Amino acid sequence: MYRFYLKIVIYLFCFALSLFGLSALDFNRFLKKGKVAAGQFLFILLALMMAYVLGEFLMSVIYYFQV
């Protein structure tokens, strides 16, 4: 049962890190005028994808070393 909670904590931590990392980019350059909602959706989607990949990597390392 603790692995379930560990997985959730890892994903949330990675999501926060992804949001922090993506905030350094200027997305306004890549957006068309008037497409703010689509840009915000893209920002969240990219953060979720990065969090999933980083979380899976961290969990595989944790489970490999039996931490």
Q: Which band of pLDDT confidence, cut at 50, 70 and 90, is reported for residue 3?
A: confident
**The one-letter amino acid at 41:** F
pLDDT, residue 48, reads 97
As for how many domains the chain has, the answer is 1
From residue 6, give the alpha-carbon distance in Å to each of 1, 14, 17, 39, 57: 9, 12, 16, 31, 14
pLDDT of amino acid 61 = 93
Which residue range is the domain that position 12 belongs to? Answer: 2-64
**Mean per-residue pLDDT for 44-54?**
96
Q: Does pLDDT of 25 surpass 90?
A: no
Q: Residue for token digits 């969090």?
A: 51
58 phi and psi, to 5 degrees?
Answer: -65, -40
SS3 33: coil
User: What is the pTM (predicted TM-score) of this model?
Assistant: 0.84
* Average pLDDT rounded to a whole number, residues 19-40: 88
